[in-house]
Amino acid sequence: MHIFRHISSLREALLAERQQGKRIGFVPTMGNLHQGHLALMKKAKSRCEIAVASIFVNRLQFGLNEDWDQYPRTFESDCQQLNAVHCDYLFFPEEREIYPNGMDGQTRVIVPTMTDMLCGASRPGHFEGVTTVVSKLFNIVQPDEAVFGLKDFQQIAVIRHMVEDLCIPVEIIAGDIVREADGLAMSSRNHYLTESERSRANQLNKTLNWVKAQIVAGDRDYVELETEAQSQIIAAGFRVDYLQVCSSDMLTPAALDDTRLTVLGAMYTEAARLIDNVSLELPMSNP
């Protein structure tokens, strides 16, 4: 695996690969890699001749009281794991390489839809930071495909919207959520969980699947389902950020005639905020 710290040298190396007709797949990360990230890398490698990863803890997508400075930096371990899944190139820039003119005057990329709800409502400015850095990384790497995990369902929807609006020639590929044995979605923030919390942290996934099962069984009172689901999470000792049944396409609250649904939830532990989602497709009703 070749490691690059600078944009110019990475571009030069990837241009040589591109000129040989090789397809380039890209997985942007913030490091502290786990099996979920590695599954995305394997997907990129299976679809493209060249697999590129980036590790950059993007200050712009963290709020004032969030964990940017405490976010785990595990570069040596990350490199070992990326080597094991045959990553070809790793981009590991310093902040001044990505934001050469500083943060205050940085040009921002703003997606006006789907960013002020759900995670966007509780993390103001978060998606602006995501879309800004992802657009920069796409310009740097110029991949044919980019793979993102479905755990961040809203993020994928926002990035797809950005790519379409800005005519960026990148195909966005979704990778399945990778889970622990008890159903907890793998996340870099899971290490914040206390031992007591860890034994109960799969409650979010259990609750989302309960909502899904009720809908499949015919219950369409989405507001009542959301209220009961939030009660389940509170009873397990956690604080609810949101839990909502949404249209999978627009992430708006689900209407009775929607057939593609996603149930999204976020909850707070003592030191972490965990997110998860489950999707389902209902048969179309007869006219």
Residue positions annotated with a catalytic role: 37
Residue 142 in marked binding region: no
Residue 161 in marked binding region: no
Residue 186 in marked binding region: yes
Residue 209 in marked binding region: no
From first CA to last CA, the distance across the chain in angstroms is 57
Q: Which residues contact 188 (CB under 8 A, 6 or more apart)?
A: 30, 31, 32, 33, 34, 71, 72
Residue 133 in marked binding region: no
Residue 151 in marked binding region: yes
- From residue 159, how far is each of 132, 201, 212, 275 by CA, in Å? 10, 28, 26, 18
Residue 152 in marked binding region: yes
Closest CA relative to residue 153, chosen from 123, 114, 126: 114
The single-letter code of the amino acid at 196 is: S
Residue 21 in marked binding region: no
Which alpha helices (DSSP H) does the chain contain, by range?
7-19, 35-47, 75-84, 95-98, 119-122, 126-141, 153-165, 195-198, 203-216, 222-235
Residue 36 in marked binding region: yes
- The residue with tokens 């992802």 is 134
Q: Indicate the angle between helix axes 7-19 and 126-141, nearest 10 degrees.
A: 50
Q: Give the DSSP letter of residue 61.
A: G
Residue 17 gets the label, from left (phi > 0), alpha (psi -120 to 50) or beta, of alpha
Residue 33 in marked binding region: yes
Residue 77 in marked binding region: no
Residue 35 in marked binding region: yes
Check: CB of residue 27 under 8 Å from CB of residue 51.
Answer: yes
Residue 191 in marked binding region: no
Q: What share of the chain is helix, strand, coil (3-state, %, to 5)?
A: 40, 20, 40
Residue 149 in marked binding region: yes
Residue 165 in marked binding region: no
Q: Rounded to the nearest 5°, which phi and psi values hold at 270?
A: -65, -35
Reported residue count of the chain is 287
Question: Binding site: residue ranges?
Answer: 30-37, 61, 149-152, 155, 178, 186-189
**Binding-site residue ranges for ATP:** 30-37, 149-152, 178, 186-189
Annotated binding-site residues for (R)-pantoate read: 61, 155
